[in-house]
């Protein structure tokens, strides 16, 4: 992170600036538990001049070319408002996050030391660390190291030789559980091994760090959450700690930790992967965002779909806050990096109390400045580039997360949750729903006069540019697939127009609004019906890159625009 960041005017208020500076924090230098598995975002964009000593693409090694997919960014923040206890607490939380990182290695690949120590090229070794294995997450999990075949769809959650049919024949609640590994016993039968059993020693150490942090916590809500989360990771029972996390309102330091998202399981989408975020809350920005959760019931009732598909009532006790990220670990740090969070995922908790939406503004600035503006310069028609703004990028990203609370969580036919019915397609379709309903919310709130600033075209054009950014994440990313489906849908409905002579794209605002409504209806209906086959057919047909899109992506790549960001992070970066 740059030492001084001028924060652009937030879309709903007048301009404000915030400056960050380096601040010392103590990193705890401590032994770590060895993780093992037992049992088994146009402000006048200008290209920087190319220094004479920069290597051309032909001069770079394979590893160096791969690393150029990522722009390096230092995670830091203004810690001057923290007391010594809070600074020490951050050190403890980072140590717990590191254990989540080790556990994710085991879930995604296996023994990281065995892999990394065998790679001589430092650039390739770094790329393997970024990807948590030998498979390129920006290229559909294609192997980038010799000697490796396809990545197992089930990662290491399941036996590599197990078929879907075999699993379905033996499937039990325990085998489908979010927090179990599936292994084969001596009789060749599938057995479920709880995470807290398979990773017991590492989780004991992580719980100890969380309890140490709790001892320093002055905010009682945060203390309670940390203690409950420490208990949760030792029992694989997270609902109490999720509810406690939702109850927190005033804490400045925060942590998200545990097995959370199911993106890594591309076989069924059943298994949660370990990850962590260590965060510091921007209290001033957060106060400006707080009002939007109250609109959720009205927005839900006005969704452009039949009443049956919006019968659930979203919780309104949801927080919408801005944070700086201090540390990413595990699944959250693998390949493309998230810039906003909407949790918890527990459908019962969501219906009872809603969710918290966290906007990671330092990481968001990095992606806007290093990636989105350069992409707009290359692909958006010159007369519309002025509409690509950070305000709109922030809003679109934020309302994406809010939109996760809209729609439906349970199928209409009694077939269980949407996640269970749609299996490996559930995550990508949910991301697509959040993308399109987020823009639907922007439209509605703009017409209601609740967004104080920015033209509607800002949101539309920034949204289009954002698709070019996100579709580069690859087919192995739920966000990448969701963006590809939406891009093709908008192109087919003439909301996005392509000029073959210039290679530039433009937004047709009238067609855009109509496409938002129709795509919203399509996705919500598919989710409510739990129609696995219809979703699969759409993904197979609509999840392909058109010749025009391939040309656009080649233009971006030829311009040397990074695909995503990689972090320099930890205690040293916070000093």
Return the pLDDT at 524.
95
Please state, in angstroms and rounded to a whole number, the distance separating the CA atoms of residues 557 and 560: 5
Helix (H, G, I), strand (E, B) or coil at 417: strand
pLDDT tens-place string over residues 362-403: 999 999 999 999 999 999 999 999 999 988 998 898 888 778
Q: What is the pLDDT of residue 413?
A: 87
Q: What is the pLDDT of residue 313?
A: 78
SS3 call for 419: helix
What is d(CA 303, CA 441) in angstroms, rounded to the nearest whole number? 9
How far is residue 544 from each of residues 336, 346, 549, 565, measured CA to CA in Å? 20, 31, 10, 25
> Which token pair is 17?
């600036």
Confidence (pLDDT) at 483: 84
pTM of the model: 0.75
Q: Which residues have C-beta within 8 Å of that of residue 541, sequence separation ≥ 6?
A: none
The ranges of the chain with pLDDT < 70 are 1-59, 315-318, 453, 473-479
Look at residue 71 and give its three-state secondary structure.
strand
Residue 8 · residue 283 · CB < 8 Å: no
**Domain residue ranges in the chain:** 85-574
Q: What pLDDT does residue 76 have?
A: 92
In this predicted structure, what is the pLDDT of residue 52? 42
What pLDDT does residue 294 have? 77
């Amino acid at each position: 992170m740059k030492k001084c960041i001028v924060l652009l005017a937030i879309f709903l208020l007048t301009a404000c600036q915030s400056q960050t500076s380096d601040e010392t924090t103590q990193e705890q230098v401590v032994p770590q538990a060895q993780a093992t598995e037992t049992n088994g975002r146009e402000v006048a964009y200008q290209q920087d001049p190319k220094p004479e000593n920069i290597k051309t693409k032909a001069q770079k090694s394979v590893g160096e070319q791969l690393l150029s997919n990522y722009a390096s960014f230092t995670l830091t923040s203004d810690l001057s408002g923290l007391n010594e206890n809070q600074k020490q607490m951050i050190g403890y939380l980072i140590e717990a996050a590191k254990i989540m990182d080790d556990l994710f290695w085991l879930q995604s690949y296996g023994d990281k030391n065995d892999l990394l120590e065998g790679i001589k090229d430092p650039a390739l070794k770094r790329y393997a660390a970024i990807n948590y294995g030998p498979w390129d997450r920006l290229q559909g999990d294609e192997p980038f190291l010799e000697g490796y075949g396809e990545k197992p769809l089930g990662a290491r959650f399941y036996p590599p030789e197990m078929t879907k049919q075999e699993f379905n024949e033996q499937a039990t609640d325990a085998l489908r559980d979010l927090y179990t590994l599936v292994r084969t016993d001596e009789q060749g039968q599938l057995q479920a091994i709880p995470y807290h059993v398979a990773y017991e020693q590492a989780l004991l150490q992580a719980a100890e760090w969380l309890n140490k942090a709790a001892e320093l916590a002055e905010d009682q809500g945060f203390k309670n959450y940390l203690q409950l989360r420490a208990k949760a990771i030792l029992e694989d029972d997270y609902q109490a700690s999720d509810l406690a996390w939702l109850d927190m309102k005033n804490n400045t330091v925060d942590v998200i930790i545990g097995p959370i998202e199911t993106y890594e399981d591309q076989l069924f989408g059943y298994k949660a992967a370990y990850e962590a975020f260590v965060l510091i809350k921007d209290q001033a920005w957060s106060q400006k965002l707080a009002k939007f959760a109250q609109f959720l019931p009205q927005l839900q009732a006005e969704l452009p779909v039949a009443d049956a598909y919006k019968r659930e009532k979203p919780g309104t006790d949801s927080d919408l806050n801005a944070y700086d990220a201090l540390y990413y670990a595990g699944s959250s740090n693998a390949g493309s990096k998230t810039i906003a969070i909407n949790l918890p995922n527990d459908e019962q908790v969501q219906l009872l109390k809603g969710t918290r939406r966290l906007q990671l503004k330092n990481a968001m600035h990095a992606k806007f400045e290093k990636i989105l503006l350069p992409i707009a310069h290359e692909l958006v028609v010159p007369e519309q580039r002025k509409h690509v703004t950070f305000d709109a990028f922030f809003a679109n990203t934020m309302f994406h997360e809010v939109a996760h609370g809209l729609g439906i969580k349970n199928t209409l036919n009694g077939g269980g949750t949407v996640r269970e019915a749609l299996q490996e397609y559930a995550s990508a379709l949910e991301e697509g729903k959040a993308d399109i309903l987020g823009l639907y919310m922007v439209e509605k709130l703009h017409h209601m006069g609740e967004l104080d600033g920015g033209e509607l075209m800002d949101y539309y054009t920034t949204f289009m540019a954002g698709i070019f950014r996100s579709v580069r994440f690859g087919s192995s990313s739920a966000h990448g697939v969701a963006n590809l489906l939406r891009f093709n849908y908008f192109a087919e409905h003439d909301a996005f127009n392509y000029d073959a002579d210039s290679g530039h794209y433009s937004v047709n605002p009238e067609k855009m609004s109509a496409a938002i409504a129709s795509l919203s209806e399509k996705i919500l209906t598919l989710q409510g019906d739990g129609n696995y086959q219809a979703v699969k057919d759409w993904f197979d047909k609509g999840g392909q890159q058109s010749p025009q899109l391939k040309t656009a992506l080649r233009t971006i790549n030829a311009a040397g625009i990074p695909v995503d960001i990689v972090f320099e992070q930890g205690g040293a970066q916070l000093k």
